[in-house]
Chain A
Amino acid sequence: MSIIPTLKKDYIYKLAKQGKRIDGRGFNEYRPITIEPGIIRKAEGSARVKIGNTQVVAGVKMDVGEPYPDTPDSGVITTSAELIPLASPDFEAGPPQEDAIELARVVDRGIREAEVVKLEELCIEPGEKIWIVFIDIHVIDYDGNLFDCASLASLAALYTAIVPAEKFDLGENYPLPMRGEPPISCTAAKFNNALVFDPLLDEEEVAEARLTVATDAKGDLHAMQKGLSGGFTVDEVKKIIKGAIVNGREIRKKLQESIEKVKQNDT
């Protein structure tokens, strides 16, 4: 990792004490978000999401496989992430490192635990044949807050995905069966007693602790992940959850609009 200049850290701290951030945002405010589903033709579902300068492309591919013995009549989701050296001078080529694995697992949990993919409808022959849904996350440009960006891209890809039944002689293609409204992951970072949502890379570099919270449309919680070696007080955790619910509502609206647009174009 690159060296963090002490002056930069001091400056970010100093601004935070005055309630300010280096890019002029409020503590709870997100950078501009753009969501473009359906950009990869070869994928069953896909999306490019930008949060500020951070950019992620997620793709959904599907294959026919065998179910797990303990869930013989249920489809399977598997999520992978690559922190490719294209996205940052600090990312290295090679097998996924801890950071990429954590990213994939946090995104996976947010989606899985909200049970938005109807896995029971992805069974072809109980105990024999099911659909496997592969979510692959490709980080293109890294300026902080990969968790939220990758979650959003994965959701946009899933909600617009088409099951490729024809390719496997299993009848006509149909939309990936989804239920309910998407769960939204929101991440906050803590430094010098300040809590900021949607941290920039500069802020992540000086952050002591980080918390990602996935909430649904009702404001219920589905997945959380605390990261980095610092700690949170109970009050801080509660504050972040409340902020995640509020931000989640706005982001969900945006995601649903982008999904609707694709569906309208398809019909």
Chain B
Amino acid sequence: MKLIDEEGRRLDGRRFDELRKIKIEAGVLHRAEGSCYLEWGGNKVVAAVYGPREAVPRHTQDPVKAVVNARYNMAAFSVDDRKKPGPDRRSREISKVTSEALERVIITDLFPRASIDVNIEILDAEAGTRCAGLTAAAVALADAGIPMRDIPVACAAGKIGAEVVDGEVKGGYVVLDLGKDEDNYGNADLPIAIAPRTDEILLLQMDGHLTYEEFEQALDLAMKGCHIVSKLQREALLNKYRPDLEENL
């Protein structure tokens, strides 16, 4: 499948360093303590936070800090072929690496024995759901008033358009934020999450084939993407709470 046209444009017309369209809304649910709705390209995600609350069952408690439980879940109707409801190996793995990434920025020692539960629901999926999910979860955490050192953010870069000639990989382009076909027919994907204040890497996964130089390029691009998305996260939170201030001055 041809992923780049003669003029160097991607299938959906994006430049190499261009993100898909992103929309973020904070505080959208009534019951949860913090929540977020996020659209990222064709992805639609809702995230909700409960806690800190006493962790149950008791054996899961840590006497010196809170445990962070992120739960990534895909709705049965969110994918092309209906997915059987409930967690599979893939969603368990994403839940684990997401929990670990979020735990790094949450100031957990303020809440010994507690759990902070972060629920991420993928309602519509189109490549890059783990980045969209983590980004939404971070907004929901801030919205819930959870103490954090930073608001984490995720984005992916990857490689598309390489050809195999005589067993050798030739060409290809490092691009930001793989879309659906780029994800399916591309050569490599590198999702990362960072703490944008320090650029510390909180999540990093990779699959496919990259040279070291391409990796550096992709990481740099993904970082840049993260900082753009980070701005949108902040705007969403400020939009939710700032009107209170300005209208009433």
Contacts and interface: CB of A to CB of B under 8 A. Distances in A.
A and B in contact, CB less than 8 Å? yes
Given A61-B82, A84-B119, A134 B76 contact: yes
Contacts of A43: 77-78, 124
Nearest to B120: A86
B10 interface: no
Given A86-B119, A89-B50, A63 B82 contact: yes
A155 interface: no
A1 to B, nearest CB: 13
A140 B124 contact: no
Chain B interface residue bracket vs A:
20 to 34
B82 A82 contact: no
Interface in B1-60: 29-32, 42, 44, 46-48, 50, 53
Interface string A199-241: 0000000000000000000000000000000000000000000
Given A40-B78, A63-B82, A89-B31, 19 more contacts: A40-B123, A42-B80, A43-B77, A43-B124, A57-B123, A59-B76, A61-B76, A61-B82, A63-B81, A82-B86, A84-B73, A84-B119, A85-B71, A86-B29, A93-B87, A95-B86, A136-B77, A138-B77, A141-B30
Pick the most buried of A42, A53, A95: most chain B CB atoms within 10 A of its CB: A42
Interface residues of A, number: 33
A108 interface: no
A85 B30 contact: no
A257 B34 CA distance: 33
B124 A40 contact: yes
Contact of B85 (A40, A57, A136, A142): A136
B76 A80 contact: yes
Interface string B112-126: 000001010101111
Given A41-B126, A42-B78, A85-B71, A141 B31 contact: yes
Contacts of A41: 42, 124, 126
B79 interface: yes
A88 interface: yes
Contacts of B81: 61, 63
B105 interface: no
Contacts of B79: 42
B77 to A, nearest CB: 3
A86 B46 contact: yes
Interface in A76-101: 80, 82, 84-89, 93-96
B31 A136 contact: no
B75 interface: yes
A46 B123 CA distance: 10
Interface in B119-138: 119, 121, 123-126
B123 A138 contact: yes
A60 interface: yes
A53 B44 contact: no
A59 B71 contact: no
Interface of A: 39-43, 46, 53, 55, 57, 59-61, 63, 80, 82, 84-89, 93-96, 134, 136, 138, 140-143, 167
B29 A140 contact: yes
Contacts of B85: 80, 82, 96, 136
Given A42-B78, A136-B85, A138-B75, A84 B121 contact: yes
Nearest to B80: A42
Given A43-B77, A138-B121, A143-B30, A89 B53 contact: yes
Contacts of B30: 53, 141, 143
B150 to A, nearest CB: 24
A44 to B, nearest CB: 8
21 contacts: A39-B44, A40-B44, A40-B78, A40-B123, A40-B124, A42-B124, A43-B77, A43-B78, A57-B75, A61-B81, A63-B81, A85-B117, A86-B121, A87-B48, A88-B31, A93-B87, A134-B76, A136-B75, A136-B82, A140-B46, A143-B30
Contacts of B47: 86
Contacts of B117: 85
A218 to B, nearest CB: 32
Contacts of B73: 84
Interface string B197-226: 000000000000000000000000000000
Given A41-B42, A84-B73, A86-B48, A134 B82 contact: yes
Interface string B64-95: 00000001010111111110011100000000
